Chains A and B, each alone.
Chain A
Amino acid sequence: MAKARAIIKRLKAVRNIRKITRTMELVATARFKKAMDRATEAAAYTKKISEIVADLSSALADAGAKGLSHPLLEKHAEEKNAVLLVLTSNRGLCGGYNASVLRNAQQRIREAAGKVKLQIEVSGKRGINFFKFQKQPVDATYTTFEDKPTFEQVDELANRFIKAYINGEIDRLDIAYMRFETMSRQKAEVVTLLPIGKLDTGTAAPAASQAAVEYEFLPSPQEILEEIVPASFKARLFKAFLDAAVSEQIARMVAMKSATENAGEMISTLKMQYNRARQSQITSELSEIIGGAAALE
């Protein structure tokens, strides 16, 4: 009987696990939908900014100006100090999400080693613990960015980076995060945010049709540009945070889905084992009784 008991105990445990993973899957699905809605709503801002940038650059080109120039767009002559911002999750159980972001971050750290002084800033408990385990000193940590990063929080961060870059304290800003492409495709990436290589002007076609419109500029295009470049940087940084939030929920959803499936499979094998064990026990008991009865005759 002992064997069948042990199997039953195990079976119960697996059933409980399946219940938990299934609930977590549902929660992740709901969170993902919310995060996705936020990301699509925020996309309108980024789109408009790039539209205005396209209009501005065409207006500047018409005026014969040498093009866009802004301290954030210019590369510093020497790359001495760099910052790497790593976006990970606060909570685990999301499959390979954190591992793949951190793998890319490590690659960047190795690349920079010896050549530039790299400051590492980490968001998310998982990343913080990882770097602690690796005994890699970290310059700043954030745990406030949950699945709903607000623009205000990101704005604060962005202002600090902008100031440091303009003052020449940092020469480069990279961000390691999981970029959201589609529902079924997310990619861990290290992206250089500063200097802004070139501003997104969208595809060439809308830019050409926009050029036909003659805008009145208040104040001059150059002055508007001075304001819009930081705004565009902030929008990009914010988008990275939103993407990371969406990707985290998708990763958790997928991980929990397969965990639920695995638990289901395990339950059916355990059930079979239990039935076999029970049957063999009955058979052995029966043969003992029959044996005993035969001995009495």
Chain B
Amino acid sequence: MAIDKSLRLVIVTPERTIFDETVAQLRFPLFDGDIGVLPGRLPLIGRLGAGDLKVKMPAGEERHFFIDGGFTQINKGTVTLLTQRAVPIDQISVAAAEAELKAAKEQSARSDEQFARKAAALNRARKLLKLARTAH
């Protein structure tokens, strides 16, 4: 079976498709850790985590996005990321990220469910803040 050597990345949010281009390689967070994808990847369906999406363009430049949960589908050389939020990191403001972290810290966690939600929010906010700091 001939392997198609191109890799297309499509990022879809509920409101619109924000990215649809051919890329060289990419790395993004799954629910339990990062995954790297090169052209010729076998089909996969997975759950996304929150964090940094690193995209290497064919010309060699790198682009970063912050993605916040969702799903991925890899099929026939196309990677589709369905996510609630995807922001290029140079558009994240440090102040907004800090505010989010503060809000996450202030959540009350009395039951297991609340605790899990708080932990997820903290994790997300910390990653967002870290990314925002690297961009500026």
Task: Spell out A's residues near B (CB within 8 Å).
Answer: 38, 41-42, 44-45, 48-49, 51-52, 55-56, 150-151, 155, 213-219, 221, 223-224, 227-228, 231, 234-235, 238
CA distance A223 to B71 in the complex (A): 12
Which bucket holds chain B's interface residue count? Answer: 20 to 34
CA distance A49 to B13 in the complex (A): 11
Nearest chain B CB to A243 CB, angstrom units:
14
Say whether B132 faces chain A, with CB atoms less than 8 Å apart.
no
| Residues from chain A with Cβ under 8 Å of B36 in the complex | none
Nearest chain A CB to B15 CB, angstrom units:
5
Closest to A242 in B: B15
- Whether the Cβ atoms of B14 and A234 lie closer than 8 Å is yes
- Whether the Cβ atoms of A49 and B31 lie closer than 8 Å is no
The one of A45, A150, A215, A238 that contacts B45, using a Cβ cutoff of 8 Å: A215
| Residues from chain B with Cβ under 8 Å of A49 in the complex | 71, 82
- Whether the Cβ atoms of A235 and B14 lie closer than 8 Å is yes
The one of B12, B30, B43 that contacts A44, using a Cβ cutoff of 8 Å: B12
Q: Which has the most chain B C-beta neighbours within 10 Å: A216, A223, A238?
A: A216
CA distance A274 to B100 in the complex (A): 68
Closest to B31 in A: A219
Closest to B73 in A: A52
CA distance A234 to B30 in the complex (A): 21
CA distance A221 to B70 in the complex (A): 14
The one of A45, A51, A56, A218 that contacts B44, using a Cβ cutoff of 8 Å: A218
Going nearest first, the 3 A-B pairs with the smallest beta carbon separation are A41-B16, A218-B46, A151-B14
The one of B12, B73, B84 that contacts A55, using a Cβ cutoff of 8 Å: B73
Say whether B103 faces chain A, with CB atoms less than 8 Å apart.
no
Say whether B114 faces chain A, with CB atoms less than 8 Å apart.
no
If A44-B17, A216-B42, A219-B47 touch, whether A151 touches B71 (CB-CB below 8 Å) is no
If A213-B75, A218-B30 touch, whether A42 touches B15 (CB-CB below 8 Å) is yes
Closest to B17 in A: A44
Closest to B75 in A: A213
- Whether the Cβ atoms of A218 and B15 lie closer than 8 Å is no
Say whether B80 faces chain A, with CB atoms less than 8 Å apart.
yes
Nearest chain A CB to B100 CB, angstrom units:
13
If A51-B73, A218-B31 touch, whether A224 touches B15 (CB-CB below 8 Å) is no
- Whether the Cβ atoms of A217 and B15 lie closer than 8 Å is no
- Whether the Cβ atoms of A218 and B14 lie closer than 8 Å is no
- Whether the Cβ atoms of A216 and B44 lie closer than 8 Å is yes
- Whether the Cβ atoms of A48 and B13 lie closer than 8 Å is no
- Whether the Cβ atoms of B43 and A48 lie closer than 8 Å is no
Q: A49-B71, A151-B15 are in contact. List 9 more A-B contacts (CB 8 A).
A: A38-B15, A41-B16, A44-B16, A55-B45, A150-B15, A218-B31, A218-B35, A219-B46, A224-B47
